[in-house]
Structure 1
Amino acid sequence: MNKHLAHAFRMLPAAAVLAAGAALSAGGGVAAAHAAATESPAAIQLAANPYERGPAPTERSITAERGPFDIEKIDVPARSGEGFNQGTIYAPTDLSQGTFGAIAVSPGFVSPEALISWYGPRLASQGFVVMTLETNSLFDAPAARGRQLLAALDYLTGDSKVKDRIDSSRLAVMGHSMGGGGTLEAADDRPSLQAAIPLAPWNVNGDWRNVRVPTMIIAADNDFIAPAGSMAEPFFNSLTAAPEKAYLELRNAGHMTFNSPHTTIAKYSIAWMKRFVDNDARYEQFICPAPAPNGAIAAYTGSCPTG
């Protein structure tokens, strides 16, 4: 290998080096390797991360009420699948960029699906398949909600009308209150999940040392139902095995803040899901360095993504 080709290899990302090496071993020689080495930046970016969906984000795009993807809404009647009651799917209609990650969302105690329905189109239009749930019972405990979240993901990837739009290796869970507690239960039970976002989580179990899923807990400073000081914060501190974790506390917010469209909740939920479900480093700018306290955020702490 001459010194110019060696230099080209040193300047390439690993994915492009493999491509160039493959070209050489296939008999293409220096010319083929040079073609791989001079691949366009866009092509190299695609090779490095095939899961990116949508244009590069901006503050305006991540806080918009709708993202760049057109979506459709699909009702999921009762008895459509095992382990959950019923729900609604929100899915991108454009498959030109490939399959999408999927997210299941649970409401809280004595709360119908309608209270968390806003997460469906907000997240789906950013490039996810999202299913919001009507739980088996309004009184289901967190552990039961966690099982339903996982059952919904299994339905999405196995039997739903949109299963062909989903990459079954890129799944996540999210929920409010006891649904947030259920989100932690689901993450504990299924370490293959790519991300979890408990919203004002409530659970009598406070030990999440075995969770190995990137987890962002979002809490509220004026929450008297699931107080941050006795639930969200200790839950976050117990996530000692999570590869990445973050804690965001909303300012001047209460327990029911999560049941209505909220720009800050949406912004950081999208950023976390994009970064860990899609491995999209373009969204790292919103979580690292940690956002400073401001009119919407009372506190934020978290790890900066390492991979």
Structure 2
Amino acid sequence: MALAAVATAGAVAFLGPQAIAGQTATPAAVQVSSTVKGPDPTEESVRAQRGPFAVKQVAVAAKAGRGFNKGTIYYPDDTSQGTFGAVAVIPGFLENQSAISWYGPTLASHGFVVITLQPNAVTDFPEPRSDQLLAAVRWVATQSPVKDRVDPARLAVMGHSMGGGGTLIAASKDPSLKAAIPLAPWSLYADFSDVTVPTMIIGADRDAIAPVANHADPMYASLKAKPDEAYLKLKGADHFTTNRYTATTTRFTVSWLKRYVDGDSRYSAFLCPTPQPDGTFVRFQLTCPV
């Protein structure tokens, strides 16, 4: 993929669809993969808390020796679309599954099989969380009650806070992952230059628990020399903003997963080129085109 830099060093770039009220943002030429799911996206649809798919869910009980604790699987109630990509999501320090549970039905309704996790221990640091993410997403694809709905070659991980640090570590451990999205990530170290998985870091400008200057900023700096790595910095947001639905978080999360897990270039329009700032984020940096 030929890539061109969209900003000089130190510049701030706002990248995404050229949104015009009442119109659909679509790329001039669209190449669609065989893993495309759902109708053509619009600016409204990528921001929606509920996408085009009806969703079912199944509880996953804790089981010794499986590598992760209990959780909940959310999946599209549609057997006509073939298999879907799978995403595992884990919360942060002292958080329970409920902290990130909204991602389950939202992402499933946009065409993914999602497992939201209860950590083995709420005090787990990023390293064990990375192992739990990888164990869970692989189990969903190969052993879960919905494994027949999952393409095991299209897996992704997400996590909040220490779960975000765990997400980056998981991407370092398993370069076969199709996407990673750390949410307000926290980690004792910030050099993830070995990560080649398409990764979008989401930080918050008013995060007092994982200040972006110490966490998200240097994490992205260690990634940004590579293609397919992005950084969204939310405006007026704190450490827990990504733990609840917002249209902006949904817009970028859905678009990133669709583009990289599904290989659906229809969603490139929502990542490139530069949009008009809408006041909900102060920075979105990426190398275009994607």
Alignment of 1:62-73 (within 5 A): 62-73=46-57
Q: In the comparison of the two structures, how many residue pairs are matched?
A: 262
More helix by share: 1
Please say if 1:209 is aligned against 2:193: yes
* Alignment correspondent of 1:274: 258
Tell me, in whole angstroms, the C-alpha distance in 2 between the residues paired with 1:132 and 1:186.
16
Moved more, 100-109 or 287-296: 287-296
Query: What SS does the aligned partner of 1:154 have?
Result: helix
Q: d(CA) in 2 for partners of 1:64 and 1:80?
A: 37
Of 17, 34, 49, 1:50 maps to 34
Alpha-carbon displacement from aligned partner over 1:46-67 (angstroms, at most 9, x marks no partner): 9961100000000111111210
Higher relative contact order (CA 8 A, sep 6+): 2
- Which one of 239, 246, 259 corresponds to residue 243 of structure 2? 259
The answer to whether the Cα contact below 8 Å between 2:255 and 2:267 also exists between their aligned partners in 1 is yes
1:193-228 deviations in whole A, cap 9, x for unaligned?
000000010001211011010000011010011111
For 2:271, the equivalent position in structure 1 comes to 287
Are 1:122 and 2:85 counterparts?
no
Cα distance, 1:136 vs structure 2: 0.2
Q: Answer whether contact 1:194 1:276 (CA < 8 A) is retained.
A: yes
Q: 1:80 to 1:95 in 2, by over 3 A?
A: farther
Write out the 4+ residue segments of structure 1 that deviate beyond 6 Å after TM superposition.
none
Alpha-carbon distance in structure 1 between the residues aligned to 2:96 and 2:206: 23
Residues 241 and 98 of structure 1: CA distance in aligned 2, closer, same or farther (over 3 Å):
farther
Q: CA deviation at 1:260?
A: 1.3
Match in the other structure for 1:299: 283
Q: Which has the larger radius of gyration?
A: 1
Structure 2 unaligned regions, length at least 5: 1-28
- Aligned-residue identity in percent: 53
AA matched with 2:116? T
Structure 1 gap ranges (5+): 1-44
C-alpha distance in structure 2 between counterparts of 1:192 and 1:225, whole Å:
31
Q: For 2:179 and 2:64, how far apart are their aligned partners in 1?
A: 25
TM-score under structure 1 length normalisation: 0.82
Letter in 1 for 2:199: T
Structure 1's 211 and 241: CA in aligned 2 closer, same or farther, altered over 3 A? farther
Normalised TM-score (structure 2): 0.87
Q: Could you say if the C-alpha distance between residues 47 and 250 of structure 1 is closer, same or farther in structure 2, counting changes exceeding 3 Å?
A: closer
Aligned-residue Cα RMSD (Å) equals 1.7
In the alignment, which of 164, 172, 176 is matched to residue 148 of structure 2? 164
| SS class of match (1:95) | coil
